[in-house]
Chains A and B, each alone.
Chain A
Amino acid sequence: MSGFDKVVGSYAEAMAGLEDNMTVVAGGFGLCGIPENLIKEIKRKGTRGLTIASNNCGTDNCGLGLLLQDKQISKMIASYVGENALFEAQMMSGELEVELTPQGTLAEKMRAGGAGIPAFYTATGYGTPVGEGKEVREFNGRHYILEEAIQGDFSIAKAWKADRYGNLMFRKTARNFNPMAITAGKVAVVEVEEIVEPGELDPDEIHLPGIYVNRLIKGTFEKTIEQRTVRSA
């Protein structure tokens, strides 16, 4: 790496420095737009005691679900964790701590974490279990709870296309949590389908500027579909 070139040579290099008990912020929605190879690298490394913030935790055999197989995750911050038997078993046995977080609050927590905003007020979750123990304030006659930002030691994310400087473009709904997840990590690692030379992407069409990205790697992706639903012609 030199100058603004963020490209690393291997997945081992991409995840170098990840240690036990660290916090990882991950992009993806269901299995769409997940950093599948970076997750596999964490599995290979065997890092344990991880706190992971991600909308979902994959399925039994896919995505972040892979890290449950060897019990590498100790705490999960997510909005929806259905469709995962292993997850349920580890949660029920107490091996896995779960902080259920509303989806919009989770996205905003990551955005705030990356934008230097320590906390924000939101109406979401007021008067529900999510609001318990949190500061409440009234603005214009409505109640809001104080939610704190999320920051990670690492972020792992998937984008579609990048230039070597880490300027990113996402594709369709595979964007989801990825841009915010990237900004919220001290070391932001992004895997993409294609890397081009700086200058080849139209600056007006870059979804996330390379300033947020520390390491970049090109991968090949399985892109597993959770619910293949079609109509007949």
Chain B
Amino acid sequence: MALTREQLAQRVAQEFHDGYYVNLGIGIPTLAANYIPDGMQVMLQSENGLLGMGPFPLDEEVDADLINAGKQTVTMATGASLFSSAESFAMIRGGHVDLTVLGAFEVDCQGNIASYMIPGKLIKGMGGAMDLVAGADNIIVTMTHASKHGESKLLPECTLPLTGKGCIKRVLTDLALMDIEDGKFVLRERAPGVSVEEIVKLTAGELVVPDSVPEMVF
């Protein structure tokens, strides 16, 4: 079975380490904050100027001056700090954020990512995504493996305008966890109940299948 949104978020959270500063993109990446293991300290960076983001506020705590990068009202965690957008992106560009998780439309086996524009259809802008992929060493892309029509989103070469070039090394889809090495996808884990054949069929870019591909454990 393909992973649910919640399972994707849970698998992302398995990449967290104690003491990590993490930037989570809008959507599934944000849900991963709900699965930080007990006893582990992870500080969430919100690129509009907050390090140490807490949960959504109670009704009476709502503050128009305190939002996340998705423009949702939030709270601050203990030990939070506030700063300008320039300071925020200095952290990101300077490589100080330990892990970045974001979504994408397409990823290719050269490590290229397309996530911000579908020409003629969707023109909203890249927000902070280009800075995040260029600045981070440790990035996980979360996405669906294929479109609703069964077209692979893991390609030999991205077809949409790029968000970043040669910067992606790890992709988590609803079917599989893959690394990108030497211009190839390498299958590391598969979703419970999903066969290697199924993943191979839906991966358009070159895919290396090791002898053993364990199922994800939740």
- CB-CB nearest in chain A for B116: A100
B134 touches A30 (CB 8 A): no
- Given that A229-B56, A231-B58 are contacting pairs, would A128 and B163 also be in contact in the complex, using a CB cutoff of 8 Å? yes
A179 at the interface (CB under 8 A from B): yes
Interface 1/0 per residue, B158-183 and A, CB below 8 Å: 00011111100000000000000000
Which of these binds chain A: B11-19, B85-93, B149-157?
Answer: B85-93
Interface 1/0 per residue, B109-151 and A, CB below 8 Å: 0001000010000011111111100110000000000000000
**Residues on A with beta carbons closer than 8 Å to the beta carbon of B84:** 107, 170, 175-180, 207
Determine which of B125, B128, B135 lies in contact with A100 in the assembled complex, contact meaning CB atoms within 8 Å: B125
- Given that A30-B67, A88-B123 are contacting pairs, would A176 and B134 also be in contact in the complex, using a CB cutoff of 8 Å? no
A86 at the interface (CB under 8 A from B): no
**Residues on B with beta carbons closer than 8 Å to the beta carbon of A170:** 84
Q: How far is the CA of A111 from the CA of B62 in the complex (A)?
A: 30
Q: How far is the CA of A108 from the CA of B90 in the complex (A)?
A: 9
Binding site secondary structure of chain B: loop
A206 at the interface (CB under 8 A from B): no
A227 touches B89 (CB 8 A): no
B195 to chain A minimum Cβ distance, whole angstroms, is: 35
- Given that A100-B126, A171-B65, A179-B84 are contacting pairs, would A128 and B58 also be in contact in the complex, using a CB cutoff of 8 Å? no
A25 to chain B minimum Cβ distance, whole angstroms, is: 13
A84-135: which have CB < 8 Å to B?
A: 88, 91, 98, 100, 102-108, 110-111, 122-130
B7 at the interface (CB under 8 A from A): no
What are 28 A-B pairs at a CB distance below 8 A? A30-B71, A32-B64, A79-B128, A80-B124, A81-B124, A100-B123, A100-B125, A102-B126, A103-B131, A108-B89, A125-B134, A128-B130, A128-B161, A170-B84, A172-B50, A172-B76, A173-B49, A174-B64, A174-B65, A175-B82, A176-B48, A176-B49, A180-B85, A180-B86, A225-B73, A227-B67, A230-B73, A231-B55
Give A residues with C-beta under 8 Å from B. 29-33, 55, 78-82, 88, 91, 98, 100, 102-108, 110-111, 122-130, 160, 170-180, 207, 223-233
- Known: A225-B73, A227-B72; 17 extra A-B contacts, CB below 8 A, are A82-B125, A100-B123, A100-B125, A103-B126, A106-B85, A107-B85, A107-B86, A108-B86, A110-B86, A128-B130, A128-B162, A173-B49, A174-B64, A226-B71, A227-B70, A230-B56, A232-B58
